[in-house]
Each structure stands twice: as structure tokens, then as C-alpha cells.
A and B are shown apart, each in its own frame.
Chain A
Amino acid sequence: MKYLGILILAIGVGLCAAFGARLSDGMYEQTRLGGQIALLEAQTDKAWADYCAAREAAKLEQGECAPPEEADDPPADTPLEAAEDGAEAAVEDEAAQTPTYDEALAAEKAALAGVAPNAEGLSGPPAQARGRWLEARTALVEPRAQKASTPLPGPETRLAGWFELSGMPFLGGLALIVIGAVLGRRAAKAELSGDSKSGDDTRVDFGVAVADLAQKLRALADRAAALDAPTPAQRKEVQAEIEALQLTRFGPIVEARYQLQNRIGLAGFAHVFGPLSGAERWLNRSWSTLADEHWPETRTSLARSAEQMAEAAAALAEELKQAG
């Protein structure tokens, strides 16, 4: 049941995410125009770079290709970039009220007219290269006008448009997620309560493990309390014992915590794990203080750890009694 649940869940997430990813018609159109412009702009930039290379090969002055002047202020645009920026600004100003296609087209054509003339009377490869650039630049006019005159769909329109297109398969996927998750929950519950045939050998008897740990911590704390000035060997022994408790006692209890959660519920689990984690933290502290060679604080920390572990053991007994 567990694997069936995971499989159904995965199919559900796949369906939901795929149909959720689908763009509404309005956004598809915006994306299409944006993509067309981006790729055409890349072609235009490449054509411009080729043109500049052709000028260089023909040993012409940089002319239109001159880089912006070096200055302390923000870099200035080339004459060509300035003309382009001006045109874009004009289109953006109009876009504030979303221009009609004709208005946007007129603005784009005006911008193109500003950069189109071959004012230097170029000839040969540079002129041909400039012609190719102009052709690429001209191809941008219509898509840009179309994009400027197509308003971006608002959030609600996007939501409604998407739901109309993908809502049903998305909801189907969502239902599969819930079915898969419920099956997964049942399987997990069966596994944790021992009804599963999975042969789980990591089961922990919490009543025994927690009581045993509480006892061991109390014994360690009492032994530490009896030592006023431990020798380095005694300190090392205590450190080894702390490390063993951290790894072999706390580790398995923490690892198997979902079994406990399943048995006594989330609130009961919190009731036990609050003091248990406190005991673990105080034990960690005793390790740190031992490493810092501060024996009085080590003794205090071990005592606090034992105290909190006793609290955890009492809480567990109470919760287990309630759970029957």
C-alpha cells in the first residue's frame, strides 16, 4: 500500500505541476511575443557585431561602432544606442496607456528611420554587413509594436484563463495527490504500529529505553557529583560515557520517534520529547564544559540532564497509561 500511495502521489504531483505550469492564452501570447523579440534582438546584436567587424576588416574608422566615451559619470550611449533609447522611451510613454497597434507601429518605424540611413555612404562588405543588420533590425519592428499594443493580462484574468484551460486535469491531479497521501498515511500508520509485514527490526520499546536512559544518566550525574577534582583519566572516562550515551541511547530513541508519535499522538509526543530534548541538550553541554575543562559546570549539566530525563520518563509513563 505504501508504494502504491507513493506512485499515485507522484503521478498526481506530475499532473498537477504540468497542468499548473501551463500558461493561460493571454500569457502564452505575451511569452510568444517576448521570445520572438528576444531571439530577433539576439540576431540583430550579432549582425551589428558582424558589421563592426567588417568595418574593422576594411580599416574604416569606428564611426557608428565607437564604444561609449570613458567618463567618471555613468557611461554614455553610442549615437545609435541613444536613438534606440529615445524611441523605446517614446514607445514606453505611449505604453503607459497601451497604444493601439498602429500607434506602436508608427513609433517603431520612426525609431527605425532614425538609425536606418547609411549616412557614411559605405560600400563593399561593410555596406553589405550593415544591410544585413538593418534587415534584422527591421524584423523587430512588427513584433515590438504588437507587444507594446498587447496589454499584459491582470492577475485575476491570468487565473481565470489558466483555470479554463487546465483546471479540470489539475483538479484530477490534486485528487490523486490526496488519494496517494491518504494511502501513504495508512501504510505509515500500519508500519509504525507493527501491523505491517515489512519486517521492521528498528522497533524501540520506549518505556524501557527511556527509563533505562534516565537511570544511566542519574548514575553518571551521581558519580560526577561525588568527584570534586577528577583526574584527566577520570575526565576522559566521563567524556567517553557521555559520547556513548549520545550515540547509542539518545540516537535510537530520536531515530524511532515517529513510532512514539503514532502511539501517543502529537501532543503526547511533544509532552515527552520536550524534556527529553532538554536532557539531550544538557548532556551536550556537559560534553562542551568537559572539553573546556570546567568541571563544576559539567557536574551541573549532568545533574540537569538527569533531572530532565526523569521528567521525560514520567511524562512517557503518563502518556502510555492514557494511551492504554
Chain B
Amino acid sequence: METLLQDVRYGFRMLRKSPGFTAVAVITLALGIGANTAMFSVINSVLLRSLPFPDSGRLMVVWKTMSNGTPNAFSTPAFLEMRQQGDILAHMGAFSNASFNLAGKDVPERITGGKVNYELFSVLGVQPVLGRMFSAGEDQPGAGRVVILSHALWKTRFASQPDISGSTVSLDGAPYTVVGVMPRGFHVLADKELFWVPLQLESANAQASARSVHWLFAFIRLAPGTSQQQVQTVLDTIAARLKAQDPTGEGGFGVTLQSIREFNVGNVKPALLLLMGAVAFVLLIACSNVANLLLARGTMRRREISIRTALGAARIRVILQLLTESVLLSIMGGVLGVGLAWAALQVLLAIHPSSIPSVETITIDAAVLAYTALLCGVVGILFGVAPALEASHVNVGDALKEGTRGSSGGFGKHRVVLVITETALASILLIGAGLSLKSLWRTENVDPGFNPTGEMTFRISAPPSFAGERIPLFYQQVLERMRALPGVQSAVLARNLPMSGGDPSMPIAIEGTPPPPSQIPIVTRLRAIGPDYFSGLQISLLGGREFTDHDTAAAPKVAIVSESLAKLYWPKENALGKRLKPELTGGEWYTVIGVAADVRHWAADVTDVEPTAYYPHTQLPEAFLPLLEGSMSIAVRSSNAAGLLSSIRAAVASVDSTVPVYDVQGMEEMVADSGSLRRFDMWLIGAFAGLALALAAVGVYGVMAYSISQRTREIGIRIALGAQRQSVLRLIMGQGARLAVAGVVVGLVGAFALTRLMESLLFGVSPRDFGTFSIVPGIVLVMILVGCFIPALRATKLDPVVALRDE
């Protein structure tokens, strides 16, 4: 310990005596460690930090396996049937999104939350901080209305009243008794949840839900000591039993388990891990640079190390002292790096894409600091060990002889390996960045199939007291008021507008087409829309007409199909006049009256568009309406969309003053948001690649400058013997170029192997895109040669007399 303290003291002194070297090394390391700390902060918050459930590793989301093998949420009948199978499924928790108008202000506030069954909170293992959970009786049809509040809602709307339990709140105009308040940060699926009410699955309304409406998220908790695989095997056995009982029943398709963490972060995990890989590369390049600096410094410290050896220092002692210095450097780099990471996170939080979950919780906490501390130790040893080994390997006798010169010529094998390594790493990163950039460019140039320019969107819900024809009438009135607003060019209505949420996937029957022998139904996306939807959103109508105000519930049932659906089922025929039927309770035959161009509904960067059938929202079966018309989206196009909001609110209030306008968003913003994760990835990987390239070029510059300083005498002799300046330049540049080419070749091979890991993150670009693999090596070579050029130019200006005196 005493020896360590002594080494630390001497180490600090040595670093203080070489402020230039120390500053360069610390800044280089700070960039590498800072990038890693920032990325780990993101990974820690998004992927690693525990979820708001105790022992969340044992919590599983249960997916109903569809006939085509894809996982989906449960329909009510499927959930009840599966729960009857007993075993672990008997206590399956269920959750469905819900939203209500919360009274209390002039205009009620629309709040989102969830409907949960009695078992769910037990499965999640969370207790209210105030009051109690739901009782079994409260989850039964006809039970009184009760609600549990989120901590956030309790705090903001009810001033954290300690006696809130037992009081009444008005949701959708009905009184609900508050029975409890959940802990801070608790949510089931989304952190926007502000309340939970009993699901009452056995109620008539829920029972009426069609088998094809998949709206329930199911959860189970694995017993201690039981693995996901073991439970999956049990579930597969149940599915096999159901299949034996009813070969055509959907129970036979079984269920699939997914950990709740995977469910929450599965979509961003590959991108975050890729970025973590990118910053690891940056750190390795920084380490290579500092290792090179230390190698050069080791040569200059030969005398000191020789003296220590002559005075009795064992080699291991010298190595430990040098490693202490390198760890000190990495700790200093780490401290500065944490500062840089903090600054980077502020930028990241300002520009983060909405698709990253828990992004607001990203912070540098104790876990991140522990990671950085560990990283500093590992990094200090990583970049210090080769220089320490080389520096400690001295011939004491030679080194202490008077007038001994440093070695001359060449780079030394360690330096060659380091330069090739960092050039290769920079090449790989830059190729990754190139692929991302090209992918982003392709995304930005994809035609989404509609025109978002000038579209302002919002959601409204018909008053809860409305039923039957009053609901479509209400939406029609709102739409008319919108269209009458000054400057408005169009106003359209849909259950979900493009980029604004998921519509159910719905099996359909095609008239004249027998069901496929495999019993796999034809599944299409079901969209409920209002009149003039296609002209309003400027979606091309390829044939037929669009819906009008005359397509009412009483009118003949009509549908419009997307181009991809028409091509799929009527490839050589005109789809107009053909009939299809959504497979849901009360489903009827709908005549195709129009074919519309495909729309990229979820995001622009999806490769496959979904075959879609559009139906007038007025003509869907009544049983479907409670689910479908809980809320509707409206898009209003005007030349001044931003200034329109107050007029929109006033217009809605003029129809019904109790109806809140919510989820207000510009459609261009929504389109931008849909690609934000890709854009975010691209900018980050681009920044890391740029940093890597700059570090690599600086590294090569350092090695060349050092090499030339060691060869001053040789170059002086060459010039004295008549070498032209150009030949000296050629000599130095040639050496640099050979290293650069070797690094780039290794980098290309590495990139060829590694970029396939990016495949799922790319759009419209092959992970081995020829253009990217051709251009990037050229950029790297140019940058590296620029790094060589400055010291090479300096070498050509050597005065041979001065150079030879250097001896």
C-alpha cells in the first residue's frame, strides 16, 4: 500500500512535469471515456435500471400466438379461455389502455390510464402507497365504480391530500371512488398512465368484444426458481392439449412469453447496443493514441528507468510504477470525461427521440460512476501495459553509457500495431456511419403516401353519455365546424391518422375465395375513417371514389382497399365491386368502391406496407364501436396550422363544451418523430465516427512526428548526402501511407464482418453497400495522409547541420 501511495505521488509529479503530454493524453482519454460514460448512462437508464416492479426479472408479458405465428394481444374470449387452463395462467393479470375525461376544470381534462383485472397488481407485486388495491368483487360486473390514482395525478390534481381515499372523482361524467394511490413512478405500460380502474372482464360489454379484437395485455410472474423456458414448455403443452381437443380452435396456437424488460425496450435495444459498440471503438482508438504517446515517452524515460533498475528496481516494480501513471492518466481522463458526458447528456436530453423509453430518467448516477471508475482502471491498464512492458525492458548498461543515442529509424512493432488498429477501427466506424447516413437519406426520401404539410392533428372523444347515432353525428358536426374555420383547406376524421397509433389487424373474408387450407386467415389492417379522407390527406385514389357523408350506417356497406391489398387478392382483376367481410361479431359484406395508394402508416422507414382496408366509421358493427370510437383523430390542413389551435378549441366547444381537445400535434412533427430514432442513431454514430477519425489522424500524426524526431540524424545525413526535399517527403509519406493502407484493409475486413449486425437498423441499404465500402476507405486514407503530411513537411525543412549536431 505504501509502495502504491509512493508510486501515485511520483506519478502525479511526473505528469505535472510534462503538462503538454498530460493534457493531450487526458483530453484524448476524456473524449473516449466521456462518450462511453454518456452512452452507458443511456443504457443504464433505458436497459438496465430496474423497472418499477419488485423482482421484475420474473415478470413476463404473455402474448397470444396468432394463426400466422405472430404474437398479439389477447381478445377477451381468448384471455378467458387461456385463464381457464389453470396452472400459472389461472392468475394471469390483464391490462388495457383507457382514457377518460377528468372533470374539475372548465373543460374536462383528457387523461390516459388503464383498465386492470383484480390479479394484475398482485402479479406486478406493487402495493399502493395510500389506500388499498382493488378487491375481487370490484372486478365483477355491476360493482361500484372505483379508481386508483397515480402518484403524479394525486400530487398535481389533488395536492397530495393524505385523506384522498374514499373521496369521489368524476371520470367521463360518472362518479368514481378513489380507493388508493400507487407509488411514485409506477406504471404498467407507459409512464403517461394516471389512473387505473377495474377491467370487469366478465361484463356484457367486454364479453361482446369480438374474438378478433386483440386489446388485452396479459402478465404473469414466474415462480422463484422457475425459468422462462420451463414455463414456456408448460404453456406449449397446454397449447398441444387444446389443439388435440379442437384442431381448428385458436387455443391450439398457444402463447408466447416475453420478459417485461424486453417488451419495454426491445425496439431500441439493438440501436443502443450498436452505439455502445461505436463508443467502445472510439475508446479503443483513444487508448491506441495514448499508448503511442506512452511508448514515445517510455523511450525518453529510458535513462530514468535504467537508473531505477540499476538501483535495484525489479522489472515488475518498474511496470507497476508505469501502470500507476497510466491509471492516473485514465482517472484524470475519467473525471474530465464525466464532465463531458454530463454536457453531452444535456444535449441528448434536448434532442432525444420520443421513441427512447425512460429517456427523462437518464442521468449520471452511482451505477454510471462505478462503471466509469471501472472503465478508468481497465483502460489505464489496457493502454499502459504495452508501453510499460517495452519501457521496462531496458539494457541498463547501454542506456547508462554516456552519449548513448535513442534508437533511430522505424516505428517499432507496438506502434505499427497500434496505428493499424486505430485506422482499422476508425474505418469500421466510418463505414457504419456511412451506412446509417445513406439509410437516413433513403428514409427522408421515401414518399409516405400522404402529405403532412400544414396538417394540425388532435383527438377528441364523443361525450360518454352519447350512444348510437349521436356519436357519428357529433363527429360530423365537429368536422363541419373545422371546415368552416378561416384558412382551413380540409379536415378529415379517422380512428387513427397516419403516424398516430395502431389500428387493429383484422382477419377478412374475400367473397369467392375459399379459406386457405392451413386455416390461416387473411389478415389486414382495419382503418375506420370519415368522408373525404383521401383528398384531405392527399392520398392518391387509384380508382373508384372515396367515402362521403352519404355512406351512413343505413347506406350499403362500402370499403376502400389499399393498392397492396388489391394486388394481393385480385392481382389480375379490378378490385372495384368485389366484396370483403371483416371477421368480427356482426361483420357484413362490404363492397369495394375505391382503391387507394399505399400509406406508410407507422413510419416512413418500413420496408413493407400493410395491406389495408378502410371502412366508414359509421358502418362498422355496433359491437365494435365502443372500442373504436372511444376517441377519434382529426387532421386539419391550413396555411397557418400553428395559429389554428385556439380556433379549433372554440369550434369543438361550440359543439359540446364538455369535450376536451387533446394530443394536439402537427403531422409534420409526427412524421419527423417517426424517424427520430433513426436520425438520432445516425447523428450519434456519425459524431462518434468523426471523433474516431480525428483521433486516428492525430494518432498517426503523433507516431510520424515521433518517428521523425527519432530519425533527425538519419534525415540530416540523407539531406547532407544530397537527398532532395521531395524524396524525404516521399519517404515519410510512403511509410505513413503503407500503415494507412494496412489499417484500411483490416478495417474493410472488419466492417464486412460487423456491419451485418446493423442490418435491422438499416433501411434501403445493404449492410455491405458497395458505394459506402468504396468511398469511406478513400476518406480515411486522405485523413491519415493529412496526419502524416505535417511532420513529413517539417522533416523536409530540417537543417542538416543542426540535425547532425543533434547527435
Are A and B co-members of a single complex? no
Report A's interface with B, CB cutoff 8 A: none
Report B's interface with A, CB cutoff 8 A: none
